[in-house]
Structure 1
Amino acid sequence: MNSKVLDTLEYNKIKGALAKFLSTSTGREELSKLNPSNDANVISPALLETDDGVHILRLQKAMPLVALNDITPYMKRLTIDASLNGTELAQIMQVLITANQMITFFNNLQANKVELNRLYDLIDQFAVIPEVTQRLKRSLNPDGRLLDEASETLHGLRRRIQRTETSIRNRMGKYLRGGQAKYLSEGIITIRDDRYVIPVKAEAKSKFGGIVHDQSASGQTLYIEPAAVVELNNQLRRDQLTARQEEIRILAELSDLVAPYQDEIINNAKLIGHLDLVNAKARYANQLKATLPNVSADNALNLKQARHPLIDQKKVVGNTIKLGADYRAIIVTGPNTGGKTITIKTVGLLQLMAQSGLFIPANEGSQVGIFDDIFADIGDDQSIENNLSTFSSHMDNIVKILKQITANSLVLLDEVGAGTDPKEGAALAIAILDKIGAVGSEVIATTHYPELKAYAYNRPETINASMEFDVESLKPTYHLLLGVPGQSNGLNIAERLGLDPSVIQEARSFTDTSSQDINNMIKQLADQTKRAREDADYLQSQLNAATDLHAELKDKFTQYEKQRERLNQNAKEKANEIVAKAKRQADQIIADLHEKQKHLSEKAVKENELMDAKGKLNSLHNDLTLTNNRVLKREKAKHDFHKGDDVIVKSYGQPGVLINKTGNHSWEVQIGILKMKIDENDLEKTSQPKKETKRQYNSVRRTKSSGMSSTLDLRGHRYDEAMHEVDRYIDAALLAGYPSVTIIHGKGTGALRKGVTNYLKGNRRVKSFGYSPANAGGDGSTVVKFK
């Protein structure tokens, strides 16, 4: 890709957004080299890797990535037999540890049958060096300090140093607490020249003896090593020097241990950096609610509700843009500030993102191409230094573009032909577009010239488009209208702003009838397109709601079937346990009869009578069929409902009376003054007295459930007020029998969202909850499902 288009479309801002999610220096280095590719063999694998990263995030897993510095300079020093310090070796150790953690992480995913496109193959490239890793872990702290276990010698020296220091402090502590404490400037033990000393008043020097190592700036305090600890300090110093030599020896040994594996360790670091970048791409995609685009070998673009990634995703307007299949040129006309420039920038930037292996902020099923290059002439590049006007700078850029484009290029032209006489500019714009069409490049151009509206109608594979404008509010809607040219709204706007009607009328008289007719036609087309878009949006929202409801009902039915089968099986098994117990008892009785028979000479029990008795007992076992099971019969009677039966509504704990059967498994139930539709599974027959039932009816209060909404909007509420409102609303929704509701809390600081989440976690009537789909508010609202 040419570097100019990367600057024009602000591609580096995308890389800046990705950098915020990176942990490793190798990841940052790979990002710095990231550029759009025009090779399908590079783009498709990169997109599949990002898809793997998004899938891992969707499973709420996190790759074991930590901050890692660049170890390449350290490895180069090993090639000249240098010894590394503890910090450098610790960073190499962290690379090896992270590599092992990555292998374990992905092995666990594989064991759980998580399907990935490419990352498993990437993990196979890690080099495992267990003996080096274990030795480094046994010898070093993460900050590079050598551990006592690095060697037996070091361990012994450090223990001896510790004992010597303890002896010195104990001996010097007597000076702080005894009669000589009055000769000290401060009651502390400190260090000078790596030896323990105490601060003594200058005039009391002779009271301690020993060696003076330092004095205060005023000369009033001398730092003296008492004679009683001189030999201990000498021993301490000798041990410290010996320990230091041992540390140097260990670091050299560890460096020699690592040196043979330089290539493997550097490759591990690069693989970790690559996974770091894949994870950053996935997290950025999650932030943008971006999706995996399909890749067209024919450069047929179909961007569904494409959004500019650098505009606040709460405010940006999505547009569906098609190019390359039915038409290869789009001419966008319309007034300034309508969104034309942002629209063509969105197309170009999303294409650059896709060709860099990034997800794009557009709806599922969007399609991108693989362009050998993208060219853009956008903005005012006039140069005082080079004495170039706006027109000249545009022409200079277009001349360069026309020399480089191919049949596989994408060209974006903003205000083509602007900056000169309108007629000349329009003629020039037409000629430029014809030249691009002759080469075969795909092009999107914006313009004010009305002549280009006719051009788009008359040229093959070319279509008009415009940005929707609301004349009532005098504001652009930023929606792209494909197939509809832009209309001139100047007179309409002036009229709505209050310009004298006589002036408006005179101005209209200066415009020819055909122009007015064309404007009226365009207005009708724009109105029809707007209505069609609004209807389509409404129908899509209804379809999404119906799809969600269908999925929920299907899930509930599946759960019901599983639960019914499980309960039935459990009941059968329990019944058979009872029968088996009876058989064991019967066998015992028969055994007793046999025993008695042995001792009886008269009236012996006949063998065939014993076998008949045992056969009857065996027939009690009903091979998992429970038609005669009294327990089940009793339970079935509880659910044999008839009109007028007294029942208990289990989910509310309230008594009621059956009014009418409303379906195969549901009844209309009178609960006090309320009538509600209740599923049979939530009902149980009761024989409690009518008098008690009437008293309990009085405890049921009427709520606003009959007219309540399935959505609660908390935006603008204070936290305490909102939590109280949620509590009341959930109670009302449960009483109304709603299977699910939606709570809109917005995003903001996240306080309301966190409060709602905590409340729902603690409510035992809530079955599950989660954020709304991306096209229905995302994490700005929560969908709650009840048990």
Structure 2
Amino acid sequence: MNNKALHTLEYEKIINRLTGLTSTSLGREEAEKLQPSRELPIVERRLAATDEAVRSVMFKGVPPFGGITDIRSSLYRAKLQGILQPPELMEVAQFIMGSRRLIRYISLAGEETELPLLSDLCEPLTDFKSLEDEIRRCIDEQGEVLDSASPELASVRRDIRINAGRAKEKLDSLIRSSSIQKMLQDVLITMRNDRYVIPVKQEYRSHFGGIVHDQSGSGATLFIEPEAVVQMNNKLRELKIKEQNEVERILRMLSEQTGERADLLTGDAEILGQIDFIFAKASLANALSATLPEMNDEGRFHLRKARHPLIDIKQAVPIDIELGVEYTSIIVTGPNTGGKTVSLKTIGLLSFMAMSGLFIPAEDGSQLCVFDGIYADIGDEQSIEQSLSTFSSHMTNLISMLGQVTDRSLVLLDELGAGTDPAEGSALAIAILEHLQKLGCRLIATTHYSELKAYAYNRNGIINASMEFDVATLRPTYRLLVGVPGRSNAFAIAQRLGLPTSIIDHARGEVSEDELKVDSMIASLEEDRLHAQAERHNAEKLRRDIEKLQKELQDERFKFQEQKAKLLESAREEARSAISKAKREAEEIISDLRRIAMEEGASFKEHKLIEARRRLEDAIPAQVAKPNRASGAKQVKIELGDEVKVHSLNGQKGHVVELTSNSEAVVQLGILKMKVQLVDLEPVRKTASNKAPVQATIVKRSRDENIRSELDLRGMMLDEAIMEVDQFLDEAFLSNLGQVYIIHGKGTGALRTGVQEFLRRHKHVKSYRLGQFGEGGAGVSVAELH
């Protein structure tokens, strides 16, 4: 890519912001070397990876990168049979643990949404838990080799403690003597050169045998090892050497095990750096309220409500611009400070971002193109040192880029032809535009020259555009208007500022008739645009009013039908009740008659009794069907896979999984399937981004899924923090997490004390502790859950 264009469009500021969002030095290294790509498949893959990270964060929260550090230098030394120090080995153990936690996070997120690229990245990652366990068995979180690392080390350290205790007891008994105390500078035991000594006044040196190890700066105090403890200190020294040798043996053993896996762990570090970099891109997308652009390599782009990513979202004025379909070049005119340069930079920088795999701050559905080069000549670049004027500087840049531009390039030119005589400058600008048009590149240029407005008006493939200016307020609106050339508005501004009318009329007389016609044409176009815009607003308001009335009418009709159905149902219920009562009485009479007939031998015809009972049942009125919102409306065709609402179930949503007949369908409602009449179904309106699946889908949620495994409370008050911790623990418990990390920082300790008191009483917490080495130490509390 053209490095000058990257600098001109401030691409490095986007990279700086991206690197600030990485969680590890490995990810920061990946972000710092990010460059736009010219290849469409590479760009699409980059954007797809960013999209997967965005969806992962949406479903599972921020990924855990704790413990993942750059251990490649340590691995390299271990591979060369160097001995790693305890802190370095603990970093290896923490790295293995962090890698495992991140793999688990992506696995759980993959159960919620498809993550093919992130899953493929995680596939080669190795889990050396056995090495991690061995390191943790031998080294504690503070980076000290444990006594339990080997039986020999435990035995040596036990002997050291015993001999040290004996030496201190011997010296202690010596300094407690009143006759000795007057010879001491201080009544204490200290150490010099790993040997126990006592501080003796200079004048009493001859009263003590032994060895002098040191003296104070003034020479008044000597640090003497008395004869009585020389042998004990010698023994301690021997034991210390044995301890040091055993510790070195243990570290060499762990380093060898690490060195055997160095290549695989180095590969893991590079992969984890890429994953961190991908999630940093997702964080940037969230910070910019950015969306996924559609990409092509056909020279087309269409930005919807695009914003400059380096301008505050509350202040940025969105622009809409399209290029590469009906026209390939845009000439933007308008006054200074109207936003022309910002619009150029927005288009160029968003193109660079998309080609780098970054989301862009624009509305959904925006399209961008993968260019083989983006060339920008923007701003006043005159150089006193090089004796270059503004015009010379622009020409130097143009000459440089003209030799590189192709039909797959994007060229952005600011103030084309400026800095020289207007007549020559406009002529030169037209010639440059003609040349670039023949090359077939995509071109956006800004200018003040009115000649270029007419040039663009009469050429195929070129269209005028302007930055809107409100004459009433004498202020630019920063809106880009494509299809409308800009006006200078000099006379209108001068008149509103109070310049005498006679001077303005005289100035108008100095303007050529052709220029006045152009200005009149532009004014007419502007008036037509404003009128069309007002008409469109009125039409939209009228449409909203009609939709509101239509909805109110539909609601009233539904209420009427519902009330009518209730009245009919009430009447029929009364009739059913009366007939049911009569039926019971008739059954009793028939039973009595049958009993009398059997007793008296009379003959009754049974089929007549059955016929009479059937007539009674037919007299019971049928239940009235309740109306639904779709009643009275045209029957909508229901197809397999449609998402529908079931009116008889209060609008419950489901998917059609089977059409059993022309009047019935089988609907999947959660885990249930039921047969429903087609008239009781209403299709859910589909959008372009939300189409119902062809088959019913059952989403399985893991019992131990979690939204977060870490909670950061830094900067919160205690009451607010307790509420966050309570909700966090509930989520973690429901997700079947065994261990969570609560970051409260060190500070005064008030937040840590309050949080740990709450953990002690919480029903889900089995135990808690402060973070160990590599987990955050006293700034983190680690809670074990039931």
> TM-score under structure 2 normalisation?
0.65
> In the alignment, what sits opposite 1:414?
414
Distance 1:243 1:535 in 2: 91
Distance 1:277 1:20 in 2: 11
Tell me which amino acid in the other structure corresponds to 1:422.
Answer: P
5+ residue gaps, structure 1: 551-664, 666-749, 763-787
> In the alignment, what sits opposite 1:161?
160
Alignment of 1:463-482 (within 5 A): 463-482=463-482
> In the alignment, what sits opposite 1:382?
382
In the TM superposition, what is the alpha-carbon distance from 1:79 to its structure 2 partner?
4.3
Alignment of 1:197-346 (within 5 A): 197-205=197-205, 209-346=209-346
Alpha-carbon spacing, 1:411–1:207, altered in 2? closer, same or farther (3 Å):
same
Does the 8 Å CA contact 1:348/1:412 hold for their aligned counterparts? yes
SS at match of 1:438: helix
Alignment of 1:598-747 (within 5 A): none
Distance 1:264 1:537 in 2: 63
SS at match of 1:65: coil
> In the alignment, what sits opposite 1:83?
83
Distance 2:299 2:176 in 1: 88
> In the alignment, what sits opposite 2:132?
133
Does the 8 Å CA contact 1:418/1:425 hold for their aligned counterparts? yes
- Cα displacement string for residues 631-656 of structure 1 (whole angstroms, at most 9, x for unaligned residues): xxxxxxxxxxxxxxxxxxxxxxxxxx
- Cα displacement string for residues 681-723 of structure 1 (whole angstroms, at most 9, x for unaligned residues): xxxxxxxxxxxxxxxxxxxxxxxxxxxxxxxxxxxxxxxxxxx
> In the alignment, what sits opposite 1:507?
507
Comparing 2-11 with 95-104, which one deviates more in the overlay?
A: 95-104
> In the alignment, what sits opposite 2:21?
21
Distance 1:252 1:305 in 2: 61
Does the 8 Å CA contact 1:95/1:265 hold for their aligned counterparts? no
Alpha-carbon spacing, 1:227–1:384, altered in 2? closer, same or farther (3 Å):
same
Does the 8 Å CA contact 1:351/1:369 hold for their aligned counterparts? yes
Alpha-carbon spacing, 1:754–1:311, altered in 2? closer, same or farther (3 Å):
farther
Distance 2:314 2:169 in 1: 68
Tell me which amino acid in the other structure corresponds to 1:420.
Answer: T
Does the 8 Å CA contact 2:68/2:99 hold for their aligned counterparts? no
> In the alignment, what sits opposite 2:118?
119
- Cα displacement string for residues 16-74 of structure 1 (whole angstroms, at most 9, x for unaligned residues): 11111223332222223210001122111111111122222223522221365543333
In the TM superposition, what is the alpha-carbon distance from 1:496 to its structure 2 partner?
1.9
Does the 8 Å CA contact 1:465/1:480 hold for their aligned counterparts? yes
Tell me whether 1:56 sits opposite 2:56 in the alignment: yes
Tell me which amino acid in the other structure corresponds to 2:445.
Answer: A
Alpha-carbon spacing, 1:471–1:171, altered in 2? closer, same or farther (3 Å):
farther
Does the 8 Å CA contact 1:23/1:67 hold for their aligned counterparts? no
Tell me whether 1:423 sits opposite 2:446 in the alignment: no
> In the alignment, what sits opposite 2:147?
148
In the TM superposition, what is the alpha-carbon distance from 1:758 to its structure 2 partner?
9.7
Distance 1:51 1:488 in 2: 44
SS at match of 2:508: helix
> TM-score under structure 1 normalisation?
0.65
In the TM superposition, what is the alpha-carbon distance from 1:202 to its structure 2 partner?
2.4
Distance 2:119 2:248 in 1: 41
In the TM superposition, what is the alpha-carbon distance from 1:173 to its structure 2 partner?
4.8
In the TM superposition, what is the alpha-carbon distance from 1:427 to its structure 2 partner?
1.4
> In the alignment, what sits opposite 1:355?
355
Does the 8 Å CA contact 1:406/1:441 hold for their aligned counterparts? yes
In the TM superposition, what is the alpha-carbon distance from 1:304 to its structure 2 partner?
1.3
Alpha-carbon spacing, 1:260–1:759, altered in 2? closer, same or farther (3 Å):
closer
Distance 2:158 2:44 in 1: 59
Alpha-carbon spacing, 1:58–1:178, altered in 2? closer, same or farther (3 Å):
farther
Alpha-carbon spacing, 1:424–1:308, altered in 2? closer, same or farther (3 Å):
same
Distance 2:463 2:87 in 1: 63
Alpha-carbon spacing, 1:234–1:512, altered in 2? closer, same or farther (3 Å):
same
Tell me which amino acid in the other structure corresponds to 1:364.
Answer: D
Tell me which amino acid in the other structure corresponds to 1:346.
Answer: T
In the TM superposition, what is the alpha-carbon distance from 1:199 to its structure 2 partner?
2.5
Alpha-carbon spacing, 1:29–1:336, altered in 2? closer, same or farther (3 Å):
same
In the TM superposition, what is the alpha-carbon distance from 1:359 to its structure 2 partner?
0.8
> In the alignment, what sits opposite 1:8?
8
In the TM superposition, what is the alpha-carbon distance from 1:155 to its structure 2 partner?
2.9
Distance 1:755 1:530 in 2: 56
Alpha-carbon spacing, 1:233–1:60, altered in 2? closer, same or farther (3 Å):
same
Distance 2:390 2:429 in 1: 15
SS at match of 2:261: helix
SS at match of 1:469: strand
Tell me which amino acid in the other structure corresponds to 2:43.
Answer: I
In the TM superposition, what is the alpha-carbon distance from 1:187 to its structure 2 partner?
4.7
5+ residue gaps, structure 2: 552-649, 651-713, 726-786
Does the 8 Å CA contact 2:417/2:429 hold for their aligned counterparts? yes
Distance 1:405 1:103 in 2: 45
Alpha-carbon spacing, 1:259–1:535, altered in 2? closer, same or farther (3 Å):
farther
In the TM superposition, what is the alpha-carbon distance from 1:268 to its structure 2 partner?
0.2
RMSD, matched Cα = 3.4
Alpha-carbon spacing, 1:759–1:443, altered in 2? closer, same or farther (3 Å):
farther
- Cα displacement string for residues 140-163 of structure 1 (whole angstroms, at most 9, x for unaligned residues): 345643333332322333343344
Comparing 220-229 with 273-282, which one deviates more in the overlay?
A: 220-229
SS at match of 1:379: coil
Alpha-carbon spacing, 1:470–1:96, altered in 2? closer, same or farther (3 Å):
same
Does the 8 Å CA contact 1:373/1:410 hold for their aligned counterparts? yes
In the TM superposition, what is the alpha-carbon distance from 1:319 to its structure 2 partner?
1.0
SS at match of 2:279: helix
Distance 2:229 2:524 in 1: 102
Comparing 382-391 with 121-130, which one deviates more in the overlay?
A: 382-391
In the TM superposition, what is the alpha-carbon distance from 1:175 to its structure 2 partner?
6.0
SS at match of 1:59: helix
SS at match of 1:346: helix
SS at match of 2:403: helix
Tell me which amino acid in the other structure corresponds to 1:126.
Answer: L
SS at match of 2:112: coil
In the TM superposition, what is the alpha-carbon distance from 1:85 to its structure 2 partner?
3.0
Does the 8 Å CA contact 2:341/2:414 hold for their aligned counterparts? yes
Alpha-carbon spacing, 1:155–1:532, altered in 2? closer, same or farther (3 Å):
farther
In the TM superposition, what is the alpha-carbon distance from 1:184 to its structure 2 partner?
3.6
Does the 8 Å CA contact 1:96/1:268 hold for their aligned counterparts? no
Comparing 382-391 with 452-461, which one deviates more in the overlay?
A: 382-391
Distance 1:199 1:270 in 2: 56
SS at match of 1:404: coil
Distance 2:251 2:345 in 1: 55
> In the alignment, what sits opposite 2:458?
458
Tell me which amino acid in the other structure corresponds to 2:17.
Answer: A
Comparing 169-178 with 381-390, which one deviates more in the overlay?
A: 169-178
Distance 2:499 2:151 in 1: 96
SS at match of 2:81: coil
Tell me whether 1:196 sits opposite 2:196 in the alignment: yes
- Cα displacement string for residues 376-409 of structure 1 (whole angstroms, at most 9, x for unaligned residues): 1112333344443222221222122121111111
Does the 8 Å CA contact 2:90/2:139 hold for their aligned counterparts? yes
Does the 8 Å CA contact 2:59/2:109 hold for their aligned counterparts? no
Distance 1:236 1:140 in 2: 23
Tell me which amino acid in the other structure corresponds to 2:136.
Answer: K
> In the alignment, what sits opposite 2:772?
none
Distance 2:222 2:719 in 1: 66
Tell me which amino acid in the other structure corresponds to 2:381.
Answer: D
Does the 8 Å CA contact 2:60/2:109 hold for their aligned counterparts? no
- Cα displacement string for residues 523-542 of structure 1 (whole angstroms, at most 9, x for unaligned residues): 454466568779989979x9
Alpha-carbon spacing, 1:533–1:158, altered in 2? closer, same or farther (3 Å):
farther
In the TM superposition, what is the alpha-carbon distance from 1:513 to its structure 2 partner?
5.1
Distance 1:428 1:756 in 2: 69
- Cα displacement string for residues 575-603 of structure 1 (whole angstroms, at most 9, x for unaligned residues): xxxxxxxxxxxxxxxxxxxxxxxxxxxxx
